[in-house]
Amino acid sequence: MRRDGTRPVGGRLHPTCGGWWARLRVCGTRHAVCLTGLCLAALWVMGVSCASSDAAAPPSAGDGLVDQVRDEQARAADSAAADAAAAADAAAADAAAADAAAAAAETAATQGTVDTAYAIDTGVGAGAGAHGSPPLALPTEAGDVARRRASHALARVYERMAQLDSGGAPARLVFLQIGDSHTASDTSTGRLRELLQVRFGDGGRGYAFAGLPWERYRQRHMGYRMSAGWRGVNGMRSSQGAFGMGGARVETGARGETIVRETCDRCEVGRTFSRLVIHYLEQPGGGRVRVRVDGDEAGLIVSDGVASDLGVFEWTGVDGPHRVELETLDRAPVTIFGIATERERGVVVEAMGINGAQARHFLRFDERLTAAEVAARAPDVLLFAFGPNEAYSSRYQVRRPDEEVFELLEKLDAYRVEYGELIARYRAGAPDAACLVLLPPDMTPRAGEDRCVPQRFDAEPIRGELCVRQPPYNYGGIINAQRYAAAEAGCAVWDQQQAMGGPGGMHIWQELRLGAADGVHLTSRGYDRLAEGLFADLVDNWTRWMSDEPEPLGTTVLHPELAITASRGR
C-alpha cells in the first residue's frame, strides 16, 4: 500500500478507486486497514467493485444495500478473527509468536477490521456486468440450449427478428423507448430505426406525439405541424389534466384547429404506411375531430365520454405515401396524445422522451392511461433511457460525499427502487414484452466541479497526455442502481458509457467531435455512432442466439484505441 492509501492494480493505479480509498481510510490507519463494508459501500457508489479472498461479492439486488453492507462488516470481523486464530494455531510451537497471534485475534474480534489486498474490477470484462455488478444469470447445463434461448432477456425480440428475416408470415417488431432529452430528440432512436428497418423491413414511422407538444420538438422520418390554436402541455411542467405513457399532449377548445402528419418522401425509411392510429382523451363534453387522409374523409373522432379514458381511432388503407389532417369541429375541449403510422410488416422504433426528465417524473403520469396506451401500442420490447438528469438532482446527492457514504448509498438504493417501479409501471401494459435498459452515456461535470485523471494516448486525434474529465461523483452509483434494477426485472442491459470508452469517455468523444460542448449531449454524429453500436451488438447477439450460442447482450467499446477504463471490445 502506498502512503496515500492507494494500491497498485495490475501494475498501475486505479484512479477512481484510488482517490476514494485514500479518503476512506478512517477505520484504523495505525493498522493500515479499512472496514470491508465501508469500502464496498464507497465503491458501489462510485460504480466500481472491491473483490478479494476475504471480501464478499458486491451487494446482491433485491435487498437493502445499506443493510447488506453493514452485514458485510460483520462478516469481515468474523473472517478476520478466524484468520488470526488460524495463524495462532500454526505458530503454536513458538510461544512468542502464539502470544502475538492471540493478541491479533483479540484485536480483530473486538474492532471488526481486516487488512486485505483488494483488486479493483471495472466490471466490463467477461463474466461480469459493467461497474462490477453481476451479469444476468442464465442456465448453464450443457446441451440445454433451448431453455437458454427461451430464458434470454430478449428472446421475444430475437424471435420476431427471425420471423422477419425468414420472409414468412407477416410479422412486426415494435421498439418503444421512454427517456430524457437523449430520447426526445429522436436522433439516436432515428438512426436505430433506419438500421433496423433496412435490415429487417420498414414497419412504418410508428407512434409520436401529435403536433408540437413543445416549441423545439423534433422527430425524424415524418412531417408534422399544427395550427396556432393548439396548446402543447408538458407533464414535466404541469400537473393539470391527464398524461399518458409519453407525458405530453396537445389540446384546444377552439373550432377549426388542425394537426398534420405526413410521410417523408426524402427519408430513407418511413415513406409509406397503410394503417393510421390516433390516441386521444375521452372526456365529458369532449369535441369532435374530422380525420382526412389525402383529402378524403377517413372517419370522425367523438371524444365525449363519461370519464377520462383513452380513445383509439384506427384507419386502414392502401400502403403508400399519405397526408393525414385532423380538424376540430366544435368549440369544445379536445386532447390528442399521439399519432402512429405503420405497415403490416417490419420494424417500428418509437421514441417517447421529455427534455430534463428523470425516471421518477414518468411515475407521476396517470398509471391507468399509461397502461392503456402501452397496451394499445403492443410493443415487443420496452427500452428505458435515463440518468444524466438524476446526477444533478439533490435527491441523489449529498453535500459531503467523502463523509456521507452511507447516506449517498441510501439515496441511490431508493433510486434503484424507483427505477424498478418505472419498469413495472410500463410492463403492466405489455407483460409479455422484453425489456432493455440503456445505461446512460458518459458525461462531464458542470463548471467548477471538474475532476480529471491524466491519461496518455497514442492514437489520432489525441497524442500525448490529456487530463481526462471524469463524470460527477455519484454517476457510477446512478448507473449501478439502474443495472441492479434491470437485473431484478429480468431486463437486458446495454451500457452507453462503456460504449463510449468508460468514465471519461465524454471528454474523449468531445475531442472526436462526437460529444457536445455541454458535456451531456452528443452531436448528431455521436448519437448516430451510439445507435450503430447498439444495432451491431443486437444483431451480433441475435446471431449467436440463432446459432445455439445464446449469451447475455454485451456492449462493444466503439473506439477501443482511445478507451479510458473500459475493456477493449467485448
Q: What is the average pLDDT across 265-287?
A: 96
Residue 407: closest CA among 36, 69, 59: 69
Report the helix count and the strand count for the chain, using DSSP H and E.
16, 22
Query: Is 163 a residue whose pLDDT tops 80?
Result: yes
**Euclidean distance between CA atoms 184 and 356, whole angstroms:** 10
Q: Fill in the DSSP letter of residue 304.
A: B
Calculate the average pLDDT of the chain: 80
Contact 132, 126 (CB under 8 A): no
pLDDT digit string, tens, across residues 234-271: 988 877 789 999 999 999 999 999 999 999 999 999 89
Beta-strand relationship, 8-9 and 12-13: antiparallel
Beta 231-234 vs 381-385: how paired, if at all? unpaired
Phi/psi region, residue 127 (left: phi>0; alpha: psi -120 to 50; beta: rest), is left
pTM: predicted TM-score of the whole model, two decimal places: 0.79
Residue carrying C-alpha cell 410508428: 206
The residues with which 283 forms a beta bridge, in sequence order, are 304
- According to the model, what pLDDT value does residue 173 have? 97
Q: Is 531 helix (H, G, I), strand (E, B) or coil?
A: helix
The whole-number average pLDDT for the span 540-548 is 93
pLDDT tens digit sequence for 6-47 = 333 332 333 333 333 333 333 333 333 333 344 445 555 555
Residues sharing a CB contact under 8 Å with residue 88, sequence separation 6 or more, in sequence order: 98, 101, 102, 104, 105
Query: What percent of the chain has a predicted confidence (pLDDT) above 90?
Result: 62
Amino acid sitting at position 52: S
For every residue of 227-278, which 3-state class applies, written as one string? CCCCEEEECCCCCCCCCCCCCEEEEECCCCCEEEEECCCCCCCCCCEEEEEE
Phi-psi region of 103 (alpha: psi -120 to 50; beta: other; left: phi over 0): alpha
Exposure on the CB side of residue 480, measured as CA atoms within 13 A: 35
Distance of CA 357 to the CA centre of its chain: 13
Neighbours of 540 (CB within 10 A): 14
pLDDT on residue 105: 43
Give the single-character DSSP code of 396. G
Most confident of 87-101, 211-225, 457-471: 211-225
Q: How far is CA 283 from the centre of its chain?
A: 35
Res. 374: pLDDT tops 90: yes
pLDDT at residue 456 above 60? yes
* Among candidate residues 281, 286, 277, 275, the one with its CA nearest the CA of residue 311: 281
Q: What is the pLDDT of residues 60-113, one digit of tens each?
A: 444 455 555 555 555 555 655 555 555 555 544 455 444 544 444 444 333 332
* Among the listed residues 477, 498, 475, the one whose alpha carbon sits nearest the alpha carbon of residue 553: 498
User: Rounded to whole angstroms, how far apart are CA atoms 118 and 52?
Assistant: 5
Main-chain phi, psi angles of 339, to 5 degrees: -135, 135
